[in-house]
Amino acid sequence: MAAATYSANHTATDPISDWRTAGDHAARPIIEQLDTGICLAGVEEVVADPDAVAWLAAADIDAIVGGPPCQGFSMNGTRTDGDPRDTLVWPMLQLVERLAPRFVVIENVEGMAAAKGDGKAVFDAAGEHLAALGYAVQPCTVDAAHYAVPQSRRRLLLIADLGRPAGVREPFDSGDATGLLAPPDLFPVPTTPHRPITVAEALFDIDCDGYTTGPDDLGVYGSNVAGRWRAARRAGRTDPLPNHELTRHSPTVVQRYRLLLAVHAAGLDPRLIPAAAKANDPSLLAPYDTLSVAGVCQPGETVAEAAWRLRSRKRTQRVWDPDKPAPTLGTQSQDWIHPTAPRNPSPREMARLQSFPDGYLLRGKVHTGGLKRRVETPTLTQVGNAVPPLLGEAIGKCLAAAVTAACLPLAA
C-alpha cells in the first residue's frame, strides 16, 4: 500500500497503480525493480545482491536516506532486547560503505539514543560507524513544529557528509536555534522556531464535506501566516478533497465525543472516564456535573451519570487543542477527536497535520487490524509513520547548502 502511494506521487509511469498487485512487482528481480524507480526488496536483500549493488553504483547515488523501523526503540513500545528490527540500520550502512554517497541521513524516534540491554545505543553506534567511514556526522534532535509542521513531534537525525572532516560533532537541538545560537552547518535550519502553526490554522478550512467557502478560503490567502500555509497545502489540489473519508460513528460514540469535547473545553481531566471504568467507581466522575453538554444527557440524567453510561476503558483518546500544534500523531485516527466536531479525523486531516499537500494521493485501505497489521500499511499508518514533508524539505535544503558551500573558494 505504501509502495502504491509512492508510485502514484513520485514516478512518471506509476508502476504500482494497484496496491493489490504490488506483490507481483516485489517478485521481480531487484534490478528490474530498480529500473522502475521503486524497489520493494529489503535493504538486506539489496546489499546481498551483487547485480543490484552494481546497478546502484553505476547510478552515482548522491544520498542515502532511511528511517529504520522505530518499534524496537520507541518508549511507547516494549523495547524488547533482541528485536530484529533494531538491526536493520546495519545493512543500510553496509550499502553506504559499498556506494560511498556524499550524504547519509538516518531518522528515528528519540528512543534510538537510549541503550538497550548491555549494548551501546544504536544512534551512537551508527554515528561512530559513519565517522569511521570518513563522514562528518551531525547528531540532531528536531521538533517538527519548528519547521512549519502543525505538530509537536521530536525526532533524531544523523546527517553525514563525506565532503567535510570526519568525526562525530556535538549534538544540536532545534529548540536551541534562536537568534543567539545559530545551528551548525549540517543542521536543518528551523523555519518557525517561535511561531508554530496551530491545529486551527491547519484544519479550519476543511469540514465534513471537504473545503469550506468561508472567510478563510482562497480569497484572503497570503494575508497571514496561516493563510499562506493553507494555500501551499492546497496547491495541486483536486476536488473532491482526496482521502477525506470520515468514520461512521454510532450515536453512543458521538455522545461520548461530545462529552469529551466539553470536558476539554472546561479544562477538566478526560482521564477520569477510563479511571472510573477501571475502578468501577462512578463517583470519580462527579467533577463533570459542573458541565452543560447538549445532546448527551438523557431526561433527568446528570452529566456525571451520562459520563458513566458512556464510559470506555480506552485511555488514549484526546481532543486536539485548536490553539496549539497537535501532539505526535500515531497510526490510529481513533486516538484523536476533532477540535470542534464529535468525530475522528479523516486521513486527509491527519495528513494536513503532517504537512502533506492536499494533492498528495494516499492509496490503500484506511484501516486494518489484527494480524494484518503486520503486513499491511493502510493510509493512516502511512501518514502517521511518515517524516513530515516540510521537515524533509528542510533536510533537503541543508544538504543542498552543503553542496553549495563546498563549491565556494576558500577564504584567503
pLDDT 10s digits, 187-204: 999 999 888 999 999 998
Q: What is the pLDDT of residue 410?
A: 46
Q: What is the pLDDT of residue 231?
A: 85
Q: Of 306, 375, 393, 386, which Cα lies nearest the Cα of 352?
A: 386
For 210, residues 6+ apart whose C-beta sits below 8 A from its C-beta are 239, 240, 241, 244
The region, left, alpha or beta by phi > 0 then psi within -120 to 50, assigned to residue 331 is: alpha
User: Could you give the CA distance from residue 289 to residue 174 in angstroms, rounded to a whole number?
Assistant: 43
Q: How many CB atoms lie within 10 A of CB 210?
A: 16
Q: Which domains does the chain have, with CATH numbers?
A: 2-192+390-407 (3.40.50)
Q: Say yes or no to pLDDT of 278 above 60.
A: yes
The residue-averaged pLDDT of 112-139 equals: 89
**Known catalytic residue: 297?**
no
Q: Say yes or no to pLDDT of 221 above 80.
A: no
Place of cell 560511498: 100
Written as one string, the DSSP assignment of 263-290 is: HHHTT--TTHHHHHHHHT-GGGGGGGGG
Q: How many CB atoms lie within 10 A of CB 15?
A: 17
Q: Say yes or no to pLDDT of 86 above 70.
A: no
For 108, residues 6+ apart whose C-beta sits below 8 A from its C-beta are 67, 68, 70, 73, 123, 155, 156
Written as one string, the DSSP assignment of 99-141 is: H--SEEEEEE-GGGGS--TTSPPHHHHHHHHHHHTT-EEEEEE
Instruction: Compute, in degrees rounded to 10, the torsion defined by CA atoms 29, 101, 13, 8.
Output: 100
pLDDT category of residue 79 using cuts at 50, 70 and 90: very low
Q: What is the pLDDT of residue 68?
A: 81
Q: What percent of the chain has pLDDT over 90?
A: 74
For 94, residues 6+ apart whose C-beta sits below 8 A from its C-beta are 47
Question: Who wins on pLDDT, 164 or 74?
Answer: 164
The residue-averaged pLDDT of 324-352 equals: 95
In the set 39, 70, 297, 398, the catalytic residue is: 70
The pTM score is: 0.91
For the chain, helix (H) and strand (E) counts, in that order, are: 15, 10
